[in-house]
Amino acid sequence: MTVQPANTIWRDFVTDGVPASGQWAPHKADIRAWGTSLEGPRTKSYATRTALRAATPVANDAAVLCESGRSGVFVFSASNLSSLVSADTQEGLYIAPTSDTTGASGAWVRQRDSLDVFVKWFGALGDGTTDDITPINKAILALPVIGGRVIFDALTYRTSGPIIIGDGTSSTFSTRYGVSLVGANVPIDPPVWSAYPQATGTKIKIDNVTGAIVDVRGPLRGWGVSNMVLQGNALTNYGIKAMSAGFGRVENVSIYSCQSDGVHLNCYSTASFAPTTQNVNTERVHFQNVFIFNGGSSGCAGVRLAGASDGTSSTCFCSFDTLDIVMGTASVQQYGVYLAVADTNIFTNAHIYGTSHATSVAVVADYSFNATFPSANYFFGLDPALQGGLAFATNGTPGPNSKLNRVYGCSDLNGPTILSLGFAADMQVSRTSLASDFAGQNVATAQPVFAPAQDTFNLKAGTLYRFKGLYIIARGAGTTSHTTSLLWGGTATFTSFDALAKVSNGDAGTLGAVVDKEITVATGTVVTAANTSATESVKVMIEGEMRVNAAGTFIPQFQYSAAPGGAPAIRRGSFFEIWPIGPAAFTSNGEAT
């Protein structure tokens, strides 16, 4: 039956507004229907939660809350909701009436289409000033234990402590999991690319606290962070810290100004769990489109895959797709990717760059915690383009069970790639070769083997290099007695220089006896006997290693003890090539034990 409005039921005349139609007598059936409609559910609007609390509710009443940030539709449930009301201190989902603030007599319940929650429902203002940590963490706790999405607007949220996912400890598994923090838009990091047009997204700024901006407390499986800028304000330790927290997903996230690590993935030892075979790895966490700007402290890393130092659990099977890490300062040692107890992690399209300290390293393999790890980590497309630091370095010594970490497609825009103990990569060989004869000089001073535009290599500090070369130095005139020495000029200095030269000093076009000459200095070693022939041809094959102390230039040279009387020509096909092996302290690699 259609319920008629009051001005129809109680109209004055049969035809409303026409007195001549006669007086109207309301029908009781219409009155009963109208009254029944008043006794059923009603929908009213309330400007604030205070007004909603003060209302006298009836079961199944609906109300529209219009308070800014808290708006939504609520329905009154007359059930005992005291436990839910007491847990929801921010009144994001449950609002008890003033008549019974405990919720034992019922409460207003927010209506929603999914389990997702918005942090603004719980009082997060996102005004860049107010501390929003309590509303954010209460929003997370309002999810069921199996999780859901916690949604942020495109605002700046200040926090005085960590945003916490999970409640695990070193001996107990988390009772909560499956939480994803979801921001608005796709952020671009402001300090580096601020000149580009970009979306205004969600930003979390933490103040005056150690710990992490986002703290994932496992052991647990299932978590996520997406579409956010996490700013440490040069105070907090970590951007995202996950402890024995696997099967996560981090997408479109920028992290900067964290004093320890941008991303820190760690694990508990299995020794604290019963049975000890429980899996507490931090595993299968997928990172995509992540930008990290390191803080200013010594020893911080963009990404640190730590794992348990006893090797009972590890950070493993994680993937990083499109990763940018920028060194935060050139005044102290920092790292891009730091691998400790980590295995079978994959990095695709990683770019590690920025002005850095001479001891900063793009990728570190640290065996000092456990000789088996890091093991079998892979980089596909890596640009370790530090301006002043090293591409690769190793701490400690790997044991016989460790597998090589490998790099495929390595591009260093600022010098040769440094391959280190624990790493194998496509070798970055620097080479110079004469395409035509190069005219030397009839002098008794050092002169280059190669033409000026191709005679100088740039060496990095603290690095072991291997080199080899072929020189053919021929003359067609001059009979002054002289010897020939090999030397290397430039500004680089060495802790050691060792090579073996095979030298033939016969006339041009004739067979000459080959002699071996050990070379232990870069400053000059005589490699031929005195020669007075006008048609001398010095042929040199040389191979060796050098451990660089101070970075600088490196120039292959030769020198006559006396001007021979005729200028030499260094023949076409003469070459010299050099490639990095590892840090200066390198001793072994791969299966060598």
Is the pLDDT assigned to residue 413 strictly greater than 50? no
Distance CA 456, CA 469 (A): 14
Tell me the average pLDDT across 165-185.
93
Q: How confident is the model over 22-42, as a mean pLDDT?
A: 78
Mean pLDDT (whole number) for 533-554 = 94
Average pLDDT of the chain to the nearest whole number: 88
In the predicted model, is pLDDT for residue 418 greater than 70? no
Quote the pLDDT of residue 121: 96
Percentage of the chain with pLDDT > 70?
A: 91
Among residues 475, 443, 440, the alpha carbon closest in space to that of 562 is found at 443
Q: What pLDDT sits at residue 19?
A: 81
- The pTM score is 0.70
Instruction: Pick the more confident residue, 560 or 200.
Output: 560
pLDDT at res. 207: 83
Burial of 343 (0-12, 13-18, 19+ CB in 10 A): buried
| Band of pLDDT at residue 419, cut at 50, 70 and 90 | very low
Looking at the predicted structure, is the pLDDT value of residue 556 above 80?
Answer: yes
Dump pLDDT digits (tens) for 76-104: 999 999 999 999 999 999 999 999 999 99
Residue 416 has pLDDT above 50, yes or no: no
**CA-CA-CA-CA torsion sign (349, 353, 357, 358):** positive
Least confident of 3-17, 186-200, 531-545: 186-200
Q: What pLDDT shows up at residue 415?
A: 38
More confident call, 424 vs 334: 334
Which span out of 62-71, 208-217, 481-490 was modeled with the highest average pLDDT? 481-490
CB of 227 closer than 8 Å to CB of 186: yes
Tokens of 510: 């004739």
* 508, pLDDT greater than 80: no
Whole-number Å distance between alpha carbons of 418 and 412: 9
**Confidence band for 198, pLDDT divided at 50, 70 and 90:** low
Which DSSP category does 559 fall into? E
Same fold, 115-326 and 430-583: no
Is 387 or 345 the better-scoring residue by pLDDT? 345
Backbone angles phi, psi at 462, to 5 degrees: 60, 40
Q: 236 φ, ψ to 5°?
A: -75, 160
Q: How many angstroms separate the CA atoms of 24 and 569, rounded?
A: 126
Average pLDDT over residues 460-471: 91
The 10s digit of each residue's pLDDT in 349-383 is 999 988 888 888 899 999 988 888 998 899 998 88
User: What is the structure's pLDDT at 390?
Assistant: 80
Percentage above 90 pLDDT, the chain? 60
Tell which wins on pLDDT, 393 or 376.
376
Radius of gyration of the chain from its Cα atoms, rounded to whole angstroms: 37
Mean pLDDT of 450-474: 92
* Phi, psi at 9, each rounded to 5°: -65, -45
188 pLDDT higher than 90: no
Give the burial string for 252-281 (b: 16+ CB within 10 Å, else e): bbbbbbbbbbbbbbbbbbbeebeeeebebb
Tens digits of per-residue pLDDT, 287-337? 999 999 988 888 999 999 999 988 889 999 999 999 999 988 888 899 999
Say which range, 306-315, 409-418, 564-573, has the weakest mean pLDDT.
409-418
**Secondary structure (3-state) at 452:** helix
Q: Which residue has the higher pLDDT, 351 or 200?
A: 351
Report whether pLDDT(191) > 90.
no
Of 252-256, 340-344, 426-430, 518-522, give the lowest mean pLDDT range.
426-430
pLDDT digits (tens, 9 = 90+) for 251-267: 999 998 898 899 999 99
pLDDT at 424 over 90: no
568 contacts 440 by C-beta, under 8 angstroms: yes
Which pLDDT score, from 0 to 100, does residue 593 have?
Answer: 52
Instruction: Using the predicted structure, report yes or no on whether residue 541 has a pLDDT greater than 80.
Output: yes
Mean pLDDT computed over 558-579: 96
DSSP annotation of 461 reads T
Q: Bridge-partner residues for 384, per DSSP?
A: 352
pLDDT of res. 584: 80
For 224-252, the pLDDT digits (tens) are: 999 999 998 887 889 999 999 999 999 99
The conformational region for residue 235 under phi > 0 = left, psi -120 to 50 = alpha, else beta, is: alpha
pLDDT at 412: 57
Compute, in degrees rounded to 10, the torsion defined by CA atoms 365, 368, 373, 374.
Answer: -10
Write down the domain spans for the chain: 6-39, 43-110, 115-326, 328-428, 430-583
Say which residues have a Cβ less than 8 Å from residue 510's Cβ, sequence separation at least 6. none
275 upstream amide cis, omega within 30 of 0: yes
Is residue 511 packed enough to be buried (19+ CB in 10 Å), middle (13-18) or exposed (0-12)? Answer: exposed
- What pLDDT is stored for residue 496 in this prediction? 96
Q: What is the pLDDT of residue 414?
A: 41
* Contact by Cβ (8 Å): 46, 18: no
Indicate the Cα dihedral angle 512, 517, 521, 522, nearest 10°.
20
Is residue 137 within a helix (H) or strand (E), and if so which, with residue range? helix 133-141
Question: Between residues 38 and 33, which one has the greater pLDDT?
Answer: 33
For strands 514-519 and 494-507, give the pairing: antiparallel
Is the separation of the CB atoms in 485 and 525 below 8 Å? Answer: yes
Between residues 390 and 81, the one the model is more confident about: 81
* CATH class of the domain comprising 430-583: mainly beta
To which H or E segment does residue 430 belong? strand 430-433
Q: What superfamily would CATH give domain 115-326? A: Single-stranded right-handed beta-helix, Pectin lyase-like (2.160.20.10)
